[in-house]
Copies of this chain bind each other. A is one copy, B any other.
Amino acid sequence: MNPQVVTFLIKCPDQKGIIAKLTGFFYKEGFNIISSQQYTNSQEKKFFMRIRLASDSTVVLSKAELENRFETLAKSYEITWKIDYGSKKQKVAIMVSHTSHNLYDLLQRHKEQKLSCEVVVVVSNHLKLKPVADMFGIPFHYAPVTNETKVEQEEELIELFNSYKIDLIVMARYMQILTANFISHFPERIINIHHSFLPAFQGANPYKRAYERGVKLIGATAHYATENLDEGPIIEQDVERISHESTTSSLKDLGADIETLVLSRAVNFHLNDQIIVDGNKAIVFPETGE
């Protein structure tokens, strides 16, 4: 919608005058601030900012110049930063196994241009969902795996994703545990959906365990995958009320709707540059109306 909007995600130690300094910099360089969101963690003395800028017609700064000048500022304030020029869509790979609802949902939103990205490949360790990728005209890559072949299969996938220049991997109910090695190739670039309200029911069979525990709400959690299973930074969660009439099977159906909403929101936050990861937490700035 705003292809010429530049987004900075900024993280640094909290320090006096930091907002004035940063907004002053962008003003001086001729940018108009479309939205600016800050978060100060005063306990840990950290500062975070998401700032969206429209470049003036009079701005003649090249990308390299802008980045060079900002880097000078960044150094003196110990700033870690990312920039997104909004000029190219992120390339996304979706990984699935047997369950289709998240895949349908993501492909439909993609097709209807509700997800600002290019879904370039669907990868699965099973053939079952190939027809879904086919319906939406997305290449399907079959990558079967056994315990014995996991290392090889992951190497093949790393190569595949690198060849596609994948920006984001979405595990849309991919029922394999990825190794730390695989994950280390895509830091803060793998989003997983877990079908429980984490940290409750971490691990296998969350709906069955929810039924057995007799909880009154079930949930889903989207998080960045890290080497510790189901323990990465949480991006989004939601829940729905259930009753004693719910069975493991009806929980799965109800849960599917929660998983679908939660994962699509999380992917959207990521693609829209709304997230800054800080240690094991995801700071998610709300959408701004532009």
Contacts and interface: CB of A to CB of B under 8 A. Distances in A.
Nearest to A257: B261
A217 B198 CA distance: 10
A147 to B, nearest CB: 29
A239 B217 contact: yes
A114 B253 contact: yes
Stoichiometry, as copies per complex, reads 4
A162 interface: no
A200 interface: yes
B40 A34 contact: yes
A130 to B, nearest CB: 14
Nearest to A284: B244
Interface stretch (A60-68, A69-77, A180-188, A230-238): A230-238
B39 A244 contact: yes
A250 B289 contact: yes
A289 B247 contact: yes
Range, interface on chain A: 35 or more
B39 A214 contact: no
Contacts of A114: 253, 256
B244 A281 contact: yes
Contacts of A290: 42, 247
Interface string A153-165: 0000000000000
B245 A286 contact: yes
A8 interface: no
Contact of A245 (B100, B199, B287): B287
A20 B22 CA distance: 8
Interface of A: 16-21, 23-24, 26-28, 32-43, 100-101, 104, 108, 112, 114, 135-136, 197-201, 213-217, 219, 233-239, 241, 243-247, 250, 253, 256-257, 261, 264, 280-284, 286-290
What 7 A-B pairs are tightest by C-beta distance, nearest first? A214-B281, A20-B27, A200-B200, A20-B23, A247-B289, A244-B283, A17-B27
Given A216-B235, A244-B281, 4 more contacts: A39-B288, A42-B290, A100-B112, A217-B239
